[in-house]
Amino acid sequence: MNLFYIAWRNIQQRGLASVLTMLSMALGVTLVILVLSISWIITESFARNSNVGYNLIVGAKGGPLQLTLNTVFYLSKPIEVLPYEDYLELLPGSGRAEEIARIGGRIAEPEREGKYSLYMSGGFAIPVCLGDYLGPFRVVGTKPEFFEQLKYGEKGDLDYEFKTGRNFLDYSDENGYFEAVLGAHVAREMDKQVGDTFKTTHGDPEGEGHGQEFTVVGVLAPTGTPNDRAAFINLEGFYLMEGHSRVFEDLANPDEDKSEVAPRDIDQPPRLSLEKRDVTAVLVKPGRGLFAMQMQQSIKKSLRAQAASPIEEIGTLFNNFVNPVKYTLLGLTIVVCVVSAICILVSIYNSMNERRRDIAVMRALGARRDVVLLIVLFESMMIALGGGLIGWVFGHALAKLCSPLVEERTGIQLGFLNSITSVELLLVPGLILLATLAGIIPAVVAYRTNVSQHLSS
Partner 1 sequence: MLEITDLVKDFPLPDRSRLPVLDIPQFSISAAEQVVLIGESGGGKTTLLHCIAGITAPTSGRIGINGLQLTKLSEAGRDRVRAARIGYVFQTFNLLPGFSALENVWLGMSFAGKGHDRNRAVDLLQRVGLSNRLHHKPHALSVGQQQRVAVARALANRPTLLLADEPTANIDPANQQKIIDLIRDCCREEEVAMLMVTHSMQIAEQFDRVERLEEINRVHPDEAAQGDQE
Ligand X SMILES: Nc1ncnc2c1ncn2[C@@H]1O[C@H](COP(=O)(O)OP(=O)(O)OP(=O)(O)O)[C@@H](O)[C@H]1O
- Which chain residues interact with partner 1 by CB under 8 A? 1-2, 6, 9-10, 12-13, 357-358, 361-371, 451-452, 455-456
Angle subtended at Cα 101 by Cα 99 and Cα 107, rounded to the nearest 5 degrees? 85
Residues 6 or more apart whose CB falls under 8 angstroms from that of 89 comprise 96, 114, 115, 116
Q: Cβ of residue 387: shortest distance to partner 1, in angstroms?
A: 20
371 binds, among partner 1, ligand X, none (CB under 5 to 8 A by kind): partner 1
Contact flag: residue 456 with ligand X (CB under 6 A): yes
* Helices and strands: H and E segment counts in the chain: 16, 16
Closest Cα to residue 178, out of 263, 236, 132, 220?
236
Q: Cβ of residue 426: shortest distance to ligand X, in angstroms?
A: 47
251 binds, among ligand X, partner 1, none (CB under 5 to 8 A by kind): none
Closest to ligand X by CB, 353 or 456: 456
Q: Cβ of residue 377: shortest distance to ligand X, in angstroms?
A: 27
Other C-beta atoms closer than 10 Å to the C-beta of 379 total 30
Closest to partner 1 by CB, 158 or 377: 377
216 contacts 165 by C-beta, under 8 angstroms: yes
Q: Cβ of residue 372: shortest distance to ligand X, in angstroms?
A: 19
Closest to partner 1 by CB, 71 or 351: 351
Contact flag: residue 455 with ligand X (CB under 6 A): no
Residue window 396-435: x/- pattern of binding to ligand X, with contact defined by CB under 6 A: ----------------------------------------
Q: How many angstroms separate the Cα of 346 from the Cα of each of 24, 118, 275, 385, 441?
A: 12, 72, 77, 17, 10
DSSP string, 126-152: EEEEEEEEETTEEEEEE-THHHHH-EE
Q: Cβ of residue 392: shortest distance to ligand X, in angstroms?
A: 47
Residue 301, judged by CB atoms within 10 A of its CB (0-12, 13-18, 19+), counts as exposed
Q: CA-to-CA distance for 123 and 54, rounded, in angstroms? A: 9
Closest to ligand X by CB, 199 or 357: 357
Residue window 435-454: x/- pattern of binding to ligand X, with contact defined by CB under 6 A: ------------------x-
449 contacts 363 by C-beta, under 8 angstroms: yes
Q: Cβ of residue 451: shortest distance to ligand X, in angstroms?
A: 11
Kindly list the residues in this chain that would bind ligand X in the complex (CB under 6 A). Answer: 453, 456
